[in-house]
Amino acid sequence: MVDPSEVADRISLVRDEIIRAGGVGVQLVAVTKSFPRDAIAAAVRGGCDAVGENYAQELLAKVEEGLPPVDIHFIGGLQSNKVKSIAPHVALWQSVDSMSVIHEIAKRAPGARVLLQVNTTGELTKGGIAPHDVASFFDVAVQVGLVVEGLMTIGPTATGVSERERSFTTLRRMVDEMGLSACSMGMSDDFVQAVECGSTMVRVGSRLFGQRLI
Ligand SMILES: *Cc1c(COP(=O)(O)O)cnc(C)c1O
């Protein structure tokens, strides 16, 4: 069950924490994976800037049920064979980390807005392009006509302040060096530190909707 007024309260609290961390104009993406379509409606009513979904099938099922007007960001692991079906519904592709996906998005959604996902932690369990390869992925994405607005990363599993700082400052530095604008980093457990390090977009799920069962 999703209680819209509780979600709205939690959105306000997260926004307050973002401001206290020095964030100005930081976008709040409500991550609704594993939560029902109602969670998306509650996020929209509560004033989130966008909604994040991770799984193609789940997104399509929710679209089928009917969604309020909102920008949907795809933030999950992307396989090129899933791109076509969700392309009409995705406003921003946040998790782009392979050449085949770059080509497929360019084919199915010409001129789409994308972020390149960077693996800033070196953890093998996490997706993302190795930092030293990002420039060549960027060149290809631009060549095929995608609009690369910025970079995205998932912070370290380790909760230490210094591990997080290393990950987030790495991404922020890359965004600056490449002259990009969007720096998507920070989730429920680490968005305050991500904002302190210069995040422009946080992706928050469980803090808004409660624990996920899957
Ligand atoms: C699930 C997910 C989130 C949100 O995680 P929470 O800890 O629930 O806030 C953010 N970003 C990505 C890429 C995710 O997969």
The DSSP result for 83-125, as a single string, is HHHHGGG-SEEEEE--HHHHHHHHHHSTT-EEEEEB--S--TT
What pLDDT, on a 0 to 100 scale, did the predictor assign at position 2? Answer: 87
pLDDT band at 214 (very low <50, low <70, confident <90, very high): low
Token output for 74: 């795809």
CA–centroid distance, residue 191 to ligand 1 (Å): 11
Query: What pLDDT band is residue 9 in, cutting at 50, 70 and 90?
Result: very high
Amino acid in position 122: G
Determine the residue type at 167.
S
Closest atom of ligand 1 to CA, residue 154 = 13
Residue 206 CA: nearest ligand 1 atom is: 8
The answer, yes or no, to whether any atom of ligand 1 lies below 6 A from the CB of 187, is yes
What are the tens digits of pLDDT across the range 65-119? 999 999 999 999 999 999 999 999 999 999 999 999 999 999 999 999 999 999 9
Please identify, in words, the CATH class of the domain defined by 4-208.
alpha beta
Is 179 exposed, middle or buried (CB count within 10 Å of its CB: 0-12, 13-18, 19+)?
A: exposed
What's the chain's average pLDDT?
96
Q: Please determine, for residue 34, whether its predicted confidence score (pLDDT) is greater than 80.
A: yes
Listed residue (139, 27, 18, 15) closest to 75, CA to CA: 27
Closest C-alpha to ligand 1, atom 11: 203
Average pLDDT over residues 185-205: 98
All residues at 6 or more sequence positions from 71 whose CB lies less than 8 Å from its CB, including other chains: 49, 50, 51, 91, 92
Nearest atom within ligand 1 for CA of residue 212: 8
Q: Domains of the chain: which residue ranges?
A: 4-208
- 190, two tokens: 């680490």
* CB 21 near ligand 1, within 6 Å: no
CB of 22 closer than 8 Å to CB of 196: yes
pLDDT digits 0-9 by tens, 107-164: 999 999 999 999 999 999 999 999 999 999 999 999 999 999 999 999 999 889 999 9
Question: What's the confidence (pLDDT) of residue 95?
Answer: 98
pTM of the model: 0.97
CA distance 201 to 49: 9
Helix, strand, coil percentages (3-state) for the chain, rounded to 5, are 45, 15, 40
pLDDT at 213 over 80: no
